Chains A and B, each alone.
Chain A
């Protein structure tokens, strides 16, 4: 009820005139035109895309090799590696952002000191838009990496080792085995992980909030953060609901794809 109803309600609310959070009349598309047309939403969409795609690609690119590599470890070591890799994920977005920022990004932190000793240049990524965007991508990827590794590892473990042995006997090298066996056989888990990663980045308001506060300027104000700010900082609930229902459409598309992949063949088992 808390999940499905709001999906429908958001669009309804976006058409209403809202005084704070109370419906006070019908507004038609006034909320929509205010936030979508007036606010320069192209820039907002581009920023959101940069964050969502950057985070997803970076996470997958690092998580996939780690998963394949943990799969080849001995049991004890594999367990230790799994625990280490999942560590940032058990922290909340807020705590992870805070600690990561203090260690690697902040000008008094270890990262800044390291880069100053090594290159002689001051390191202050939060002052430029690109640096700040890179920072929130780094924080989000760091936190979700372990989660992606475990999901992929579950898929990798289900692979049939004999098939790979056979390919090896037939003279397929490591690259050929990876691209012609591993990738196609892992298509389902890879798709699911990608959907989950895209969705969690799209809906991540906490990491930009706690790492950069959306700045400098609004360089790291992503769609999720904007929705949150509009409603709870600027008290524009109508505008926020309009943006939320737009984001919801994207979420629902992901959910439908996910449900088709995961649910098919399960229900009448």
Chain B
């Protein structure tokens, strides 16, 4: 780098900025365009050439969408995602600690099962049919706990993996010091381990929240009553219900993406770290 001249450096810097700009354009444009459309009246939507601005914005689409089934589903999904995140993190923390620090019979098996379940959870589309059949047999479909239960199962392996990775980095001497001071295993976990692996907890929590918020397939079939339907299903139902009425459609899509954008803006660093931690450490 040191041999490059000043002009070369500023050219390459400009190229980098242009490339980042292009990336931002491709990734942001659908959201911006969707947002513009969601503020249009049906006539404005069909104006050609398409207008990004210069039309009179209306909040009508949003009002319609919120009054309809979407508003309720949005609220339901907030509860699902929060509940799944809190319970998931509690289970995961204890599980990851046990897996990393305790020696118990079958630990090897549990460990491999956990690692195997990380990618297995990607196959949710294939799992949804057998899951549906046996949930139906047990009478577990269409209940308030149906979807949170599934979301927990889908996300616990990955978050265990992320948190275990962080616990590994905490020296065992700290545990021993705690034990000498009279702490139990649980005491060590909550007094020593928990404060030290807070970033990993945060990262895992975000991954669980995003996963629960964005899940669609199970949500679309496992529950029937409107009060249990999650937000993605509400968006999808607008696709079939409104057909080409892009105003309310984009309004619902934008509303469904707002919580995720907020997460990204306020804790993007944790999300990025979580993904990088959870992935390629093998």
Contact = CB atoms under 8 A, between A and B. Distances in A.
Interface of A: 1-7, 9-10, 13, 18, 21-23, 66, 69, 73, 77, 79-88, 90-96, 98-100, 102-104, 106, 108-110, 113, 117, 142, 146-147, 150-151, 153-155, 157-158, 188-189, 192-193, 195-196, 199-200, 202-206, 209-210, 224, 227-228, 231-232, 237, 240-241, 244, 247-248, 251, 254-256, 258-259, 261-264, 266-269
A188 B282 contact: yes
Interface residues of B, number: 85
B137 A22 contact: yes
A172 B250 CA distance: 52
B221 A203 contact: no
A154 B282 contact: no
Nearest 7 interchain pairs by C-beta:
A2-B153, A6-B130, A92-B214, A262-B282, A99-B30, A154-B276, A10-B130
A2 B256 contact: no
Please report whether the interface of chain B is mostly helix, strand, loop or mixed according to DSSP: helix
A256 to B, nearest CB: 8
B257 A267 contact: no
A81 B154 CA distance: 29
Contacts, number: 274
A3 B130 contact: no
A99 B277 CA distance: 30
Given A84-B20, A224-B126, A248-B126, A205 B30 contact: no
Given A2-B127, A91-B257, A267-B112, A205 B217 contact: yes
Interface string B87-115: 00000000000000000000110011101
A21 B216 contact: no
A32 to B, nearest CB: 15
B214 A113 contact: no
A191 to B, nearest CB: 9
17 contacts: A2-B127, A4-B120, A79-B268, A90-B263, A90-B264, A102-B37, A108-B246, A113-B48, A153-B276, A154-B275, A157-B276, A188-B280, A199-B119, A237-B132, A262-B281, A266-B115, A267-B112
A262 B115 contact: yes
Given A6-B131, A83-B268, A195 B119 contact: yes
A258 B282 CA distance: 10
A98 B111 contact: no
A108 B50 contact: yes
Contacts of B193: none
Nearest to A265: B282
Given A151-B275, A267-B112, A237 B129 contact: yes
A55 B115 CA distance: 25
B280 A155 contact: yes
A100 B150 contact: no
Contacts of A269: 168
A106 B239 CA distance: 13
A146 B154 CA distance: 21
B280 A85 contact: no
Q: Which of B49, B50, B126, B281 has the most CB of A within 10 A?
A: B126
